[in-house]
Amino acid sequence: MTRPLGFAILGAGLVAPFHARAVRGAKGARLVAICDSDRGRADRLAAEFGARAYYELGRMLADPEIDAVNVALPNHLHRDAVLQSAAAGKHVLTEKPPAMSLAQVDEMIGACRQAGVRFGCTVQCRVRRSVQAVRAALAAGRFGRLLHADVFMKWYRSEEYYRSDGWRSSRRSGAGVTVQQAFHYVDLLQHLAGPVRSVQARMTNLAHPAIDLEDTAVAFLDFECGARGLLQASTALWPGTDVRVEINGTNGTAILVGEKVAAWRFREELAGDAEARMLGADGGPTAAGGAADFGHEGHQVLVQDLVDSVREGREVVIPVASVRHSLEIVLAMYQSAARGQAVDLPVEDDETAWGSQATR
């Protein structure tokens, strides 16, 4: 293919402009269409970015200039959109979580594989340079034996945020801090520290009494490598502070605050360590205090990767298969909170996670 890869964005809500800017900034990509059942939203975003507006997925998928679809719909709608896009021969980049169940994720992966299309997930925290530096140091054994991998996500979202779209206050639609905001950092922990074997979680609603969701979750994680972990995630803590990621081993410690390296210390100093300590020094906002308070650069890296993967005939850098375990951990967290006890992985799908608040 010599022409630019044609992209469509499915869903014209809060995150859609970030996808649009990402496509606009990627080399070899062109934004062709915006699709949303809300005609006003589709028209406005399409006009802003010089794209065509569609109001039905089927009509959009029939457009021969569209090669790839960025799925930016409410979480519970991802599965059907991905299956239809794959059946139409379109590559897919879906927002997180990829789906609401492990069975759905497996079905989507199989459909994309059978159709011969790329299938990636926008867990863009993985492509931050600071995160990649930590992962490389882990792979090189610089931390020694890994002891702890922790995340502290103390964010704030207002009542207005939860009411801005109906699905944002609906557990069955995939809302709640655990599966929505914290998913990025659950994924980051397993990306860095490896698979999780056991989870014990508690969830509560601290500051949004009108919303029947958890706005705060705390989970203790046991990793298969023997390390322990703590995940604290909240949208109740005004005004919101940047996420803190801490990785500790017998021979080293790295701490990231937002996208910045706050600590980088190893028993054996290497030539590149001074440079590593400067990573993320010019990082921007990271959604701590507002749902749209972040940049599109991570999305652009993933759009560019999708373009390049098609050109080069390779897999995308973040295939959905690599994100499946993140959803499994989230499901284990909901199950643990509902049962009041630790849950061992692997877990089975449990639809009751989406039917009640599951807080203790």
Is 102 found in the same domain as 165? no
Place of tokens 């459909």: 111
> What's the pLDDT at 355?
67
> What's the pLDDT at 357?
42
Place of tokens 């322990």: 228
Q: What does pLDDT average to over the chain?
A: 95
Residue 306 has pLDDT above 90, yes or no: yes
Query: Of 9, 15, 26, 5, which is closest to residue 301 (Cα–Cα)?
Result: 26
> What's the pLDDT at 339?
96
What backbone phi and psi angles, to 5 degrees, belong to 303?
Answer: -65, -45
Is 36 found in the same domain as 23? yes
Is 133 found in the same domain as 110? no
> What's the pLDDT at 359?
37
Judge whether 360 lies within some domain: no
Instruction: Report the percent of the chain where pLDDT is more than 70.
Output: 97
Radius of gyration (C-alpha) of the chain in whole angstroms? 20
Query: Please, what's the largest Cα pairwise distance for the chain?
Result: 59
**Once rounded to an integer, what is the mean pLDDT over residues 178-201?**
98
Helix (H) or strand (E) holding 74: none
Place of tokens 């492990």: 102
Q: Count of domains in the chain?
A: 2
> What's the pLDDT at 285?
76
Judge whether 359 lies within some domain: no
Is 132 found in the same domain as 27? no
**Once rounded to an integer, what is the mean pLDDT over residues 5-22?**
98
Sign of the CA dihedral with 333 first, then 337, 342, and 345 last: negative
> What's the pLDDT at 106?
98
Is 248 found in the same domain as 161? yes
Q: How many residues comprise the chain?
A: 360
Is 343 found in the same domain as 222? yes
Q: What is the pLDDT of residues 40-89, one digit of tens each?
A: 999 999 999 999 999 999 999 999 999 999 999 999 999 999 999 999 99
- Are the CB atoms for 229 and 218 separated by under 8 Å? no
Q: CA separation (Å) from 144 to 124, 140, 251? A: 27, 9, 5
Q: What is the pLDDT of residues 343-357, one digit of tens each?
A: 999 999 988 788 644
> What's the pLDDT at 358?
40
Q: What is the pLDDT of residues 273-297, one digit of tens each?
A: 999 999 996 656 789 999 989 999 9
Residue 92: give the domain boundaries. 5-125+295-319
> What's the pLDDT at 281?
65
- Are the CB atoms for 247 and 149 separated by under 8 Å? yes
Is 270 found in the same domain as 150? yes
> What's the pLDDT at 1?
61
> What's the pLDDT at 264?
98
Is 277 found in the same domain as 347? yes
> What's the pLDDT at 88?
98
Three-class secondary structure of residue 135 per DSSP: helix
Q: What is the pLDDT of residues 231-279, one digit of tens each?
A: 999 999 999 999 999 999 999 999 999 999 999 999 999 999 999 999 9
DSSP 164-189: SSGGGG-GGGT-STTTTTTHHHHHHH
d(CA 252, CA 264): 8
Report the CATH number that the domain containing residue 10 is assigned in CATH: 3.40.50.720
Is 139 found in the same domain as 267? yes
Q: Is the peptide bond before 285 cis (omega within 30 degrees of 0)?
A: no
Is 94 found in the same domain as 171? no
Is 162 found in the same domain as 259? yes
Beta strands 52-54 and 29-35: pairing type?
parallel
Q: What is the pLDDT of residues 187-198, one digit of tens each?
A: 999 999 999 999
Three-class secondary structure of residue 69 per DSSP: strand
Is 254 found in the same domain as 178? yes
Report the CATH number that the domain containing residue 337 is assigned in CATH: 3.30.360.10
